[in-house]
A and B are shown apart, each in its own frame.
Chain A
């Protein structure tokens, strides 16, 4: 199941990592979130404009180092030269105007962009010591380590709620049976804050639920394959405010066990839920998207380093 991405996995990556040698000396618990670390003054001021800028941070398991990543659709450069540290076991938000490449970069992390003919990406995306973008790494295996939740809830309509949760395993021919299946379904649905609402109708079709419930079902489905990272591409943009609140709460909760990366157009949401925010932009339509600034969310929203970030956050642009 885990195939070619053995990844440093959770055990061995809390110590020194080749990506961030400086991190080893810091005696910070691996489970500590970035926000905590910032509060305790363990983390230096956020990085300068355009750089990854979170050096010195303890490397929690599930940490992703993005270095020099450029994404192409055919000959069109969509994302140019992004370097960014995504902390493990925390929520990182990608914000920016339409076309700035934030979704493309998100999809590059689990190599979903390869589904589009002609799409490719350069650079390295290192998760727990393994380069997901490496030439010898199987995209299918990457996706079992890095799950994804989409803008529009997309449960399998022909499958029951229960089978939807198990879909990742069923698809790979590893359907669990009996009580093992029941336990996993309950565990994942509880994880997705959905259990109490659906426990009496697990046999019903996956698309019989409301939009917000469907999205939580998709999250349960994503965590059922035990990924290290959960990517979310505007997961609330098709939902009403109440459902959005439920998903936001869930994202915070998920960050205890998973690295969560969320693309959002909603800046208030990014401010509410994320530990780290990365702001992307583009010079003008047709130009490649670039990372403008990234840093702890509180800092980026209260004291952005770059004028473009401030303009965007304050609604003067985008």
Chain B
């Protein structure tokens, strides 16, 4: 920012406003990189040693870091995958309704605005909604699932009486990532070449057949990229999960309806931090580093797929 970077930019003839503009842009770009580097350094320096911490130095009476990080990493991915499964079809459906199926462009814009509003709802509100409304509603459904589909590992075990299960958390996070994914899908669908849609229609395709053979294949990379970005968002979701989920440490389970649920990294950090001290805090920061790594991988994969879609 400011005069230091501006002096290195442009030819002497560049007007002052141009130099100030270019300088501040470079400053902003550098600032972002600097913040990221700072966060990474913080996580590595403060959290790194915790990865080799002994018994007694770790929260939740863990004996080593991996015992803590492994199940929590699983929990984060598990909740995120449930959310993605829950959100995918509605997101694609809403995006289709806002583009191809919209009776008028006005309706499409209205639907897009509603989705953006959904994205604007604070995480803590979703948490309250999940805790107070959705969880009690789900109790009888979980009971039914257990009685009828109990032979599946997802529905075995005694169903939760509070409804604060990993599936409820996944549903809440699913609603939260729906707008991101729908927005990405909407953009991809809107980019379908009209020539391809015409080709399908001219061959006698109905609207759905046109979507199936002209729109979805072209938008596939956009849909996948949207899913990956939504997954990244779901992985980091903290507040709503921490409020909704009733978890047990170290647990790795695919059960969706029982009271024994794994914890996510973000929710574990949020709920454990207030009563942690010294090396325990270091361990939580180490967990943060693990989550950062997972999110980074998902985000890179998403971007790579999105870019492939553009160059095709």
Contact yes or no, B214 A156, CB < 8 A: yes
**SS class, residues of chain B in contact with chain A:** helix
Which stretch from B2-10, B29-37, B68-76, B200-208 is at the chain A interface?
A: B200-208
**What's the A-B contact tally at a CB cutoff of 8 Å?**
72
Which residues 124-171 of A sit at the B interface, judged by CB distance below 8 A? 140-141, 143-144, 147-148, 150, 152, 154-159, 167-168, 170-171
Contact yes or no, A112 B202, CB < 8 A: yes
B253: shortest Cβ distance to chain A, in Å? 39
Residues of B within 8 A of A141 (CB): 204
What sequence of 0s and 1s flags, for each residue 45-86 of chain A, a beta carbon within 8 Å of any chain B beta carbon? 000000000000000000000000000000000000000000
Contact of A171 among B103, B104, B200 (CB under 8 A): B200
Contact yes or no, B202 A172, CB < 8 A: no
Whether A115 sits at the interface, judged by CB under 8 Å, is yes
Residues of B within 8 A of A168 (CB): 203-204
Would A147 and B209 be within 8 Å (CB), given that A154-B195, A154-B196 are in contact? no
Residues of A within 8 A of B212 (CB): 171
Whether B217 sits at the interface, judged by CB under 8 Å, is yes
A255: shortest Cβ distance to chain B, in Å? 19
Whether A221 sits at the interface, judged by CB under 8 Å, is yes
User: Which of B201, B206, B218 has most A Cβ within 10 Å?
Assistant: B201
Whether A225 sits at the interface, judged by CB under 8 Å, is yes
Whether A117 sits at the interface, judged by CB under 8 Å, is yes
Whether B198 sits at the interface, judged by CB under 8 Å, is yes
Contact of A222 among B197, B203, B205 (CB under 8 A): B203
Please give the number of chain B residues whose Cβ is less than 8 angstroms from any Cβ of chain A in the complex.
Answer: 24
B276: shortest Cβ distance to chain A, in Å? 52
User: Which of B204, B206, B220, B312 has most A Cβ within 10 Å?
Assistant: B204
Contact yes or no, A154 B213, CB < 8 A: no
Contact yes or no, B196 A171, CB < 8 A: no
Contact of A147 among B104, B202, B220 (CB under 8 A): B202
Whether A218 sits at the interface, judged by CB under 8 Å, is yes
B197: shortest Cβ distance to chain A, in Å? 8
Whether A110 sits at the interface, judged by CB under 8 Å, is yes
Residues of A within 8 A of B200 (CB): 156, 167, 171
Residues of A within 8 A of B202 (CB): 110, 112, 143, 147-148, 150, 222
Whether B122 sits at the interface, judged by CB under 8 Å, is no
Whether B300 sits at the interface, judged by CB under 8 Å, is no
A interface, CB within 8 angstroms of B: 110, 112, 115, 117, 140-141, 143-144, 147-148, 150, 152, 154-159, 167-168, 170-172, 218, 221-222, 225
Offer 15 A-B interface pairs, CB within 8 angstroms, sorted by A: A115-B197, A117-B104, A140-B206, A144-B203, A147-B202, A150-B199, A154-B193, A154-B196, A158-B217, A167-B203, A170-B213, A171-B200, A171-B213, A221-B203, A225-B204
